[in-house]
Amino acid sequence: MAEFECERRVDADASTVFRTAADRSSLDRWLPGTVRVHPAEPPGVDVDVAGSTGEPGLLRERRDQLRLEWGRRGSPDYSGWLQVASAEGGTSYATLHLSFLGDDPRNHGGEPAEEVDRQLRESLDRLAALVES
């Protein structure tokens, strides 16, 4: 199993950051490069993960916890979450986490793992830009 995590301070209160992050019309603008979200029926979204075999995904909002969680339905080989927390002075921290199980090349370090770290940083930068604009 490989776990990747990155945290970034955002110049906005936690509820504003979470509201922006959870807005389904802008999820594709900030989520990591391996994740694409599109509408699904019945109500909800499908989450496509690069390299997946087309399994449907899920997205769960825990508004009371300022947390988003996503992954593949019925398969624990990939999951992710975003947690937003309040900080001093009306700012907040956004923490983005991805987990990969099985024989995924990201589990073995090197360039694939470095790519995930880069995607996490860029995702949080894009989220901050959306919030702060």
Looking only at the bridges linking them, the beta strands covering 92-100 and 2-10 are antiparallel
Averaged pLDDT, 103-130: 80
E strands, the chain, in order? 2-10, 35-39, 45-49, 57-62, 67-72, 75-86, 92-100
**Is the pLDDT score of 52 beyond 70?**
no
Least confident of 57-61, 75-79, 85-89: 75-79
| Entry pTM | 0.82
CATH code where residue 112 lies: 3.30.530.20
- The percent of residues above 70 in pLDDT, for the chain, comes to 72
Residue 42 has a pLDDT of 47
Question: Could you give the 3-state DSSP secondary structure of residue 37?
Answer: strand
- Residue of 77, 10, 72 lying closest to 37 (CA atoms): 72
Query: Cα–Cα distance between 105 and 116 in angstroms, integer?
Result: 11
Number of folded domains that form the chain? 1
Tokens of 8: 């970034």
CA 112 to chain centre: 18
Q: What pLDDT does 34 receive?
A: 59
List the domain range (segments joined by +) for residue 9: 2-132
Q: Mean pLDDT for the chain?
A: 81
Torsion angle of the four alpha carbons 41, 80, 55, 128, in this order, in degrees rounded to the nearest 10: 60
- Across the range 96-105, mean pLDDT stands at 75
